[in-house]
Chains A and B, each alone.
Chain A
Amino acid sequence: MSGLALQNVVKEFGTFRAVNDVDLTVPHGTFVCMLGPSGCGKTTLLRMIAGLDLPTSGAIRLDGEDITRVPTHKRDLGMVFQSLALFPHLTVGENIAYPLRIRNAPKEDQQRRVDELLAMIHLQGYADRPVSKLSGGQRQRVAIARALSISPKLFLLDEPLSALDAKLREAMQVELRQLQQKLGITTIVVTHDQREAMTMADTVVVMSGGEIRQAAPPVEIYRRPADSFVADFIGQTNLIEAESDTLGHVRVLGQPVPGLSLLPGAAKATLSIRPEDVRLTAPGAGALSGTVTFIRDLGGTIETFVDVAGRQIVAVSTPRARPEVTVGQRVGVALTPDCCVVLRK
């Protein structure tokens, strides 16, 4: 199979299990974002793919070949580090040419490739500058160009954009995604920023506690989270308990929701309802009733906090669909089966 495959990969540091039995397949040419809170094992997983750490057990295959014990420098990777790790004693051009120089490529080829890459990252004419004279965004591009200079089989990035300010980061996300699509290179990015993952990835891999909680395309991760951790970690959500009676009628906070069914055999479940799916109505039949406790008007979106039987439910709307409510007003919260995602326990 062409691409990267992780099979039962485990990494232990002493008694601590940083990565617990991870299986993952990354088809050739896809862009994968590993997303999770700090300490979830995503960086350790990336370092094992790079060969900087050895798995305690399990196998890593690249294009069908077992590379678990192949030393890093023989894996033909490109990697961008969080610190960027540009070589301070080399110029921009020398940094980009480093992987070629190490492989004893002819001088003319090195020169040609450096020119190509500098054009690609819009830094023509910067070849002879010392890296210390570059701005943060420029260094970022040089680190990316250096990692791509041998056209690697795998392109790995560890929190690559975390040092940039918010505006530049968003612009670089788009640029990185476009670059990856143009080159068709298998790419794995580690990030804790879910916007970054949603922007760039073909597949988002959500990790927690050393395990993969869900690996799916961004929209599916958002619309169909596998469990409450994923639902809560990706975007904003309302997690509400639901219970089912023996006849299969489901009640949410005491209010029956017709048409909704829980997983077979389960009497209780947690529902995830995205704030933009929560519709506020007049209090009355067919809706949960609650009290507005707070309104956060952010200009572009309006968040309305409603207290329903001691549970806080957030509704988000656009200014055009602004709900005509004030703090303290009694309102109805309408739930429809298609906006409730039933989560596995």
Chain B
Amino acid sequence: MRREPAQTLGDYTPLLFPAAMLTIFFVVPFGTMIAVSFFQRQQGGFYTPAFVYDNYARFLSAFFGGVLGFSLMLAIAVAVCCVVLALPFTYLLTRMARSVQVLWLVALLSVLSLSEVIIGFAWSTLFSRTAGITNILVALGLMGEAQALTPSFGAVLTGMVYQAFPYTVLVLFPALVRLDPTLTEAARTLGASPLKAFFTVVVPALRNTIVATLIMVFIFALGSYLLPQLLGRPQHWTLSVLITDQAIYQSNMPFAAAMAVFLVLVTLGLVALTVIAGRKGEAA
């Protein structure tokens, strides 16, 4: 169905409400943050309006560069782990009976209802020496003695993958449900084993969905600031942790704002690159 293009000002009225909400709750706060990032910091937690680059200049150091690099690497690792785990899982889920699907989706949704704090403390208990999963391995005779798995990079990664996994499944689910099941059957009749059929038909046919999901999980993981503190050492802290630290504990709003703006810019840049690369791949 084709719709008439908007002719009069009146035709735009349905847009007013979302536009206003977007302005009040996104454009204004974000603009404020950009403005604050150029302000001059006063000792004692205040800032005065100014236009200085000090906050950005301070950021351009090896230390913050390292933190930024680690944050991006962690977010990419979480995104890749989530998609690699969720894609086969969701694929198998869509092939199951409706009742089984509903059961799994409800379970995943209940994980979504857990707050980051609860997930963080739950995993730190599971990874602890005294009450952790290594005690089970010891009981099974697979390990000599119980040991603490946290704080470590692996613990941070596990916690964040756990947190982002339900989102990943929910984003992949509709696309996989719509995928014609005869495509894989056709691949099998043409000589592909079920595993080969998955990699030569399901994955490439869903390329765009997979890229979109990677970007979504990446951005989601980039904002995580509690799990790295709960499950990691200071060297596993992400830029989001430092931003929180600066904004809340050091009361350095201008520097926190500058870091946040920088993080947004880098994120947008990476997403744009991915999209452009995706377009190129499509054309080829």
| Residues of A close to B194: CB separation below 8 A | 73
| Residues of A close to B197: CB separation below 8 A | 73
| A73 and B192 form a contact (CB under 8 A) | yes
A93 at interface by CB-CB < 8 Å: no
| B189 and A50 form a contact (CB under 8 A) | yes
| Residues of B close to A147: CB separation below 8 A | 189-190
Q: In the complex, what's the smallest C-beta–C-beta distance from A146 to chain B, in angstroms?
A: 7
Chain A 47-84 interface mask (CB, 8 Å, partner B; 1/0)? 00011100000000000000000011101111101110
| A71 and B189 form a contact (CB under 8 A) | no
- Cross-chain contact of B191 among A83, A88, A99, A156 (Cβ < 8 A): A99
| B183 and A102 form a contact (CB under 8 A) | no
| B191 and A89 form a contact (CB under 8 A) | no
| A85 and B183 form a contact (CB under 8 A) | yes
| A81 and B182 form a contact (CB under 8 A) | yes
B136 at interface by CB-CB < 8 Å: no
| Residue of B with least CB distance to A50 | B189
Q: Interface stretch among B5-13, B198-206, B232-240, B241-249?
A: B198-206
| Residues of B close to A87: CB separation below 8 A | 183, 186-187, 201, 204-205
| Residues of A close to B129: CB separation below 8 A | none
A150 to B192, CA, bound (A): 13
Q: Mostly helix, strand, loop or mixed at chain B's interface?
A: helix
| Residues of A close to B201: CB separation below 8 A | 87
A87 to B187, CA, bound (A): 9
| Residues of B close to A88: CB separation below 8 A | 205
| Residues of B close to A103: CB separation below 8 A | 191
- Cross-chain contact of A73 among B182, B193, B207 (Cβ < 8 A): B193
Q: In the complex, what's the smallest C-beta–C-beta distance from B116 to chain A, in angstroms?
A: 37
| B204 and A89 form a contact (CB under 8 A) | yes
- Cross-chain contact of A102 among B182, B191, B204, B205 (Cβ < 8 A): B191
A156 to B189, CA, bound (A): 10
Interface size on A (CB < 8 Å)?
Answer: 28
| Residues of B close to A73: CB separation below 8 A | 188-194, 196-197
- Cross-chain contact of A52 among B180, B185, B192, B207 (Cβ < 8 A): B185
A81 to B190, CA, bound (A): 12
A98 at interface by CB-CB < 8 Å: yes
Chain A 80-117 interface mask (CB, 8 Å, partner B; 1/0)? 01110101111000000011011100000000000000
Task: Count CB-based A-B contacts (< 8 Å).
Answer: 70
| A77 and B196 form a contact (CB under 8 A) | no
A99 to B193, CA, bound (A): 11
| B200 and A102 form a contact (CB under 8 A) | yes
- Cross-chain contact of B189 among A72, A82, A83, A89 (Cβ < 8 A): A72
| Residues of B close to A89: CB separation below 8 A | 204-205, 207
A12 to B201, CA, bound (A): 30
| A76 and B191 form a contact (CB under 8 A) | yes
| Residues of B close to A50: CB separation below 8 A | 189
| Residues of B close to A51: CB separation below 8 A | 188-189
| Residues of B close to A75: CB separation below 8 A | 189
| B191 and A79 form a contact (CB under 8 A) | no
| Residues of B close to A79: CB separation below 8 A | 186, 189-190
If A71-B193, A147-B190 touch, does A85 touch B185 (CB 8 Å cutoff)? yes
Q: In the complex, what's the smallest C-beta–C-beta distance from B195 to chain A, in angstroms?
A: 10
| Residues of A close to B185: CB separation below 8 A | 52, 72, 81, 85
| Residues of A close to B187: CB separation below 8 A | 87, 98, 102
| B196 and A102 form a contact (CB under 8 A) | yes
| B207 and A85 form a contact (CB under 8 A) | no
Query: Could you list some 23 contacts between A and B, CB below 8 A?
Result: A51-B188, A51-B189, A52-B189, A72-B188, A72-B189, A75-B189, A79-B189, A81-B182, A81-B186, A83-B180, A85-B180, A85-B183, A87-B183, A87-B186, A87-B187, A87-B201, A89-B204, A90-B204, A98-B190, A98-B192, A99-B191, A102-B191, A102-B200
Residue ranges of B at the interface with A (Cβ–Cβ < 8 Å): 180, 182-183, 185-194, 196-197, 200-201, 204-205, 207
Query: Can you list the 4 inter-chain pairs with the closest CB atoms, starting with the nearest?
Result: A85-B186, A79-B189, A85-B182, A99-B190
A sample of 18 more A-B contacts (CB under 8 A), given A52-B185, A73-B197, A98-B192, is A51-B188, A52-B188, A71-B193, A72-B188, A73-B193, A73-B194, A76-B191, A79-B189, A81-B186, A85-B183, A87-B183, A88-B205, A89-B204, A98-B187, A101-B200, A102-B187, A103-B191, A146-B190
